[in-house]
Amino acid sequence: MAPFVPKRLEPVAFGLFLTFFMTFIITGISTVLVASVDAPGFAALWFRAWMSSWAVAFPAVLVVAPFVRRILRVIVRPA
């Protein structure tokens, strides 16, 4: 597959994929802890939790990331 995302959109694409995978993993673990894997409707319960979490996490990362970058510029020592 040839690259198709413009360089200027790389931070948005990064946030999209990061939140996609992180919310998938975290909601999966949380759902297993609340309702066992063999519970009826487990997949639907997990999917609902994942989509609602992702809907919050993606915009949150886009808003918070610039602040985190500024903090890191202050606390990380140059190589």
Kindly state the tokens that stand for 58. 């993606």
Query: The domain containing residue 70 runs over which residues?
Result: 11-75
Query: Could you tell me if 53 and 30 are in contact, meaning their C-beta atoms sit under 8 angstroms apart?
Result: no
* pLDDT of 79 over the 90 cut: no
| In-domain check, residue 6 | no
2-22 pLDDT, tens digit each: 999 999 999 999 999 999 999
Longest dimension (CA), the chain: 53
Domain count, the chain: 1
What pLDDT, on the 0 to 100 scale, is given for residue 17? 96
| In-domain check, residue 67 | yes
Q: In this prediction, what percent of the chain has a pLDDT beyond 70?
A: 100
| In-domain check, residue 27 | yes
Confidence of residue 36 (pLDDT cuts 50, 70, 90): confident
- Segment 68-73 mean pLDDT: 95
What pLDDT, on the 0 to 100 scale, is given for residue 45? 95
